[in-house]
Amino acid sequence: MRQLITLSHQDAQRAIEAMQAECDKRGKGGVLVVTDAHGELIALLRMDGAPFSSIQIALNKAYTAARERKPSYELGQKARDPERGFPMTNFGELRYTTWGGGLPIVIEGEVVGAVAISGLPEQEDMEIAELGRQAALGII
């Protein structure tokens, strides 16, 4: 029999709070998302000033990270590689995105969920998502 580790609402809340605190510190608003291992929503916060388009983008970043078990940015790097690149439509999954800001949450080698943020420049999205990942794991 196999036991599955899952994220709790409390884990998701810690991630959201850590990402929100960092956005507040930077004076910016984003859409913050935590999903389960299948990329399905556990928690979402649209901060004041976050673009409406960032809602779906953040959801898709987390979905991509959870389903592909790697950062959304990493998938994007592979897709954009001039020698080995491929169109994202090859996946047959329209929710996949290649922008940075979605990270899988891994415990004991298993992806148990994902965090994502959208609405800031890509590098900031990736930095803040990492804080959310760490918070979900209880590292910070």
Q: What tens digit of pLDDT does each residue of 83-126 get? A: 777 776 667 788 999 999 999 999 999 999 999 999 999 999 99
CB atoms within 10 A of CB 126: 21
pTM, two decimal places: 0.93
pLDDT tens sequence across 29-61: 999 999 999 999 999 999 999 999 999 999 999
- Each domain of the chain, given as residue ranges in start order, spans 9-136
CA pair distance 98, 81, nearest whole angstrom: 12
pLDDT score at 45: 98
Q: What is the CATH number of domain 9-136?
A: 3.30.450.150
